[in-house]
Chains A and B, each alone.
Chain A
Amino acid sequence: MTANAGYHSYATGDVLTAAQVQFNLQNQVIMYFATSGARTTALTGVVVEGMFSYIPGNGLEYYTGSAWTTVSSPGDITGVAAGIGISGGGTSGDVTITNSMATTIDAKGDLIVGTANDAFARVAVGTNNQTILADSTTSPGLKWAASPQSILGTTGDILYASAANTPAALAAGTSGYYLKSGGAGVAPSWAANASAMTLITRASFSGVADTGTTFDGVFSSTYKTYLIVIENMGAVTNSDDLYLRLRYAGPTTQAATYNWNNAIILSNGTTATAYQNPSNWWQINRNSADSGNPLSGEFWINRVGNASEKPNMWGSSASSSTEEAVNFTGQQTTARIYTGVILSSSSTNITGTVAIYGLAAA
């Protein structure tokens, strides 16, 4: 018979043996000892797994086969109540509790926010690139709203306030323009720098009888004075003169009524003059250059945008071919709104690069 003999069925009239009392009864009841030492003394050599004992101060313990272990008290919990944010619970048997905040979430990105003391609600996720803002006028106290990321649609956009607390995008302006304040209460805008020159056009051409439509449409109401920069230009031979004529609506080349004079400083230091009144062009350089030794120069022109004004042009140039410097002045005695210029030489093709800048009127 083992130390713990287990359950035994007794019949009426059975006489209990010492072994039955020892192994079926005594070894399987809850034994009382005054101390742990008394228990050790009493059970040395007979202790087996499954024995129970009660010792004051220790409480109920059982033997695992290697040590005495306190029996927990699972019956202490008599009920589970669902508090704030929790649902479910119970007072008997297995109970389930559920996190109500978790089940309020329906989709990725949803937020749970407080709506009042101990109250919460779901705020569905916004659209991509929106941001969350505090808003006491809404039920949850928060709202999804446009963000810089959602407002700025493309490269070059600028963020500004279109009204109080209202961000907006100012689309990229014209190349070369600067951001201009409209003053308090007015949206900013893009504008040409009023104190600087703006490149209107720059073009290179090779072996042309004239520049044709290249510099049409360069004069406008935006500017009053223009700078024509001849970065380099030459005719086929340096015996040619360089011409500039005005263009107007159509465009049509202004064919006559030019006045001009050239003050020429020769390579030996002496001076010469050339002039024509009237002429069919402005001669801006005598014996201009050839394409291998091009001309460089700058010419200013104004009074081109007013139907009642006669244009003036002035400037200077230098030729590395003839080693002459030429100061030019010219007038066009027909008043009209001119829109551009055309360049040519007196009798051969020209090759070069020319840029035209506008000087802001304001």
Chain B
Amino acid sequence: MTTKAEMVAIIKAENLDGLRVGNEVDGYTQLTAAQFDTQIAEWAENRLAKQALLKSLDELKIARQALLHKLGITAEEAALLLGQ
């Protein structure tokens, strides 16, 4: 399990030139060091949350398949049974 500190390090490594905001017409503004750290911390939390979500979905999928196997029916038969 990746820790937040590890994830922060990963994302910082992906953004060695820092971060910027803005657009092509008005120009871009480089984030300050403090803003950079705040943004990276938020991204790290989001990425960890996404990983946790995907992990739970995978676990749910495995559990569903195990249940179907135990019942001896296919996913389509289960959907039919549930009226889906």
Residues of A within 8 A of B (CB): 203-214, 236, 239, 241, 346-349
Contact = CB atoms under 8 A, between A and B. Distances in A.
Given A208-B28, A209-B39, A212-B29, A347 B20 contact: no
Nearest to B24: A204
Contacts of A210: 21
Interface of B: 11, 14-15, 19-26, 28-29, 31, 39, 43-44, 46-47, 50
A206 B29 CA distance: 12
8 contacts: A204-B25, A206-B24, A208-B22, A209-B19, A209-B31, A212-B23, A212-B29, A348-B14
Given A207-B20, A209-B31, A346 B25 contact: no
Closest CB pairs A-B (n = 3): A212-B21, A347-B43, A346-B46
A208 B21 contact: yes
Nearest to A342: B21
B23 A205 contact: yes
A347 B50 contact: yes
Contact of A203 (B14, B23, B29, B39): B23
B24 A347 contact: no
Contact of B22 (A213, A241, A347, A348): A213
A213 B11 CA distance: 24
Contacts of A208: 19-23, 28
Given A239-B50, A347-B44, A203 B24 contact: yes
Contacts of B46: 241, 346-347
A153 to B, nearest CB: 29
